[in-house]
């Protein structure tokens, strides 16, 4: 505050001017990443949880080489979806608890910049978790086909769609009485197309399907991503307004 007063009069308006959309978005991303790299609360919780889910699947489904052929994609996506809700819940609850969200809403920036900021940092967390879980899975089960670029592309597209809807719904669920319980119940039925299309596409890639064979789920994945990013962008205002 005081530094603003010490600026020459000509510089003041520029300093106080509304930041650009991109700058505002990046500021929120930077804030979230900085907070996370100091506390490491969210990432460690998501990672430990992912490992536990894979451990449980290992014994529940008896992941021998024949079973893995058909269920690897499903196991991975279930793990990511569960870990994802954990992260989404936490990332929005942190904003709500100490009134940070109110602070963000008071900032003279476009509300959708807040949405994109939160969504990008949530996506970053999810991708970091995936970047650790996938090699670990590959190591544990000797599954090197995971590292083909098309497979990673599908993972990225799926994560984008999942996080877009998830960020919007987590902003809603933290404002309800049953917040922690509500997010997966709201998110999973709406996110089913993303999860199923991703499983279909990535499962096809692991079983050496041709590109033409996975084109249909891939198209739907892209359609879902575009539709839901656009809708979330349009309705986020209604979710956070007081």
When asked if residue 119 is in the footprint of other proteins (CB under 8 A), the reply is no
Q: How far apart are the first and last CA of the chain?
A: 26
When asked if residue 226 is in the footprint of other proteins (CB under 8 A), the reply is no
When asked if residue 185 is in the footprint of other proteins (CB under 8 A), the reply is yes
DSSP tally for the chain: helices H, then strands E? 10, 0
Query: What is the maximum span of the chain, computed from C-alpha positions, in angstroms?
Result: 73
Nearer residue to other proteins within complex by CB, 90 or 200: 200
Q: Which stretch binds other proteins (CB under 8 A): 81-89, 97-105, 120-128, 218-226?
A: 218-226
Nearer residue to other proteins within complex by CB, 80 or 224: 224
CB of 220 to other proteins, least distance (A): 5
Cα–Cα distance measured from residue 232 to residue 236, given in angstroms and rounded to the nearest whole number? 6
Runs of H (alpha helix) within 40-143: 41-60, 65-97, 100-106, 111-141
Q: Which stretch binds other proteins (CB under 8 A): 57-65, 90-98, 148-156, 171-179?
A: 171-179
CB of 7 to other proteins, least distance (A): 40
CA-to-CA dists, residue 77 to 126, 144, 158, 192, 239, angstroms: 12, 17, 9, 11, 28
CA-to-CA dists, residue 153 to 112, 159, 201, 210, angstroms: 26, 10, 10, 15
Nearer residue to other proteins within complex by CB, 58 or 78: 78
When asked if residue 227 is in the footprint of other proteins (CB under 8 A), the reply is yes
Cα–Cα distance measured from residue 231 to residue 64, given in angstroms and rounded to the nearest whole number? 42
The values of phi and psi at residue 142, to 5°, are 55, 50
What track of x and - describes contact with other proteins for positions 186 through 205 (by CB under 8 A)?
x--xxxxx--xx--x-----
Nearer residue to other proteins within complex by CB, 36 or 158: 158
CB of 54 to other proteins, least distance (A): 24
When asked if residue 228 is in the footprint of other proteins (CB under 8 A), the reply is yes
When asked if residue 11 is in the footprint of other proteins (CB under 8 A), the reply is no
Cα–Cα distance measured from residue 92 to residue 32, given in angstroms and rounded to the nearest whole number? 11
Q: Which residues lie near other proteins (CB under 8 A)?
A: 165, 168-169, 172-173, 175-179, 182, 185-186, 189-193, 196-197, 200, 216-217, 220, 223-224, 227-228, 231, 235, 238-239, 241
């Amino acid at each position: 505050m005081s530094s603003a007063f010490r600026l020459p009069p000509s510089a003041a308006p520029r300093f106080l001017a509304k930041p650009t959309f991109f700058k505002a978005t990046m500021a929120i991303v930077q804030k979230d990443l900085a907070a996370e790299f100091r506390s490491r609360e969210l990432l460690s919780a998501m990672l430990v949880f992912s490992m536990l889910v894979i451990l449980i699947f290992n014994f529940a489904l008896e992941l021998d080489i024949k079973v893995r052929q058909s269920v690897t994609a499903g196991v991975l996506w279930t793990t990511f979806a569960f870990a994802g809700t954990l992260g989404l819940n936490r990332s929005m609850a942190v904003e709500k608890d100490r009134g940070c969200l109110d602070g963000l809403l008071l900032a003279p920036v476009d509300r959708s910049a807040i949405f994109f900021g939160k969504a990008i940092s949530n996506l970053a967390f999810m991708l970091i978790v995936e970047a650790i879980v996938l090699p670990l899975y590959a190591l544990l089960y000797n599954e090197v086909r995971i590292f083909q670029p098309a497979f990673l592309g599908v993972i990225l597209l799926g994560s984008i769609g999942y996080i877009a809807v998830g960020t919007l719904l987590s902003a809603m669920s933290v404002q309800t009485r049953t917040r922690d319980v509500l997010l997966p119940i709201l998110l999973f039925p709406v996110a089913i197309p993303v999860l199923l299309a991703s499983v279909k596409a990535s499962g096809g890639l692991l079983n050496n399907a041709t590109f033409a064979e996975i084109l249909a789920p891939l198209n739907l994945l892209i359609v879902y991503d575009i539709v839901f990013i656009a809708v979330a962008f349009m309705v986020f205002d209604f979710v956070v307004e007081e």
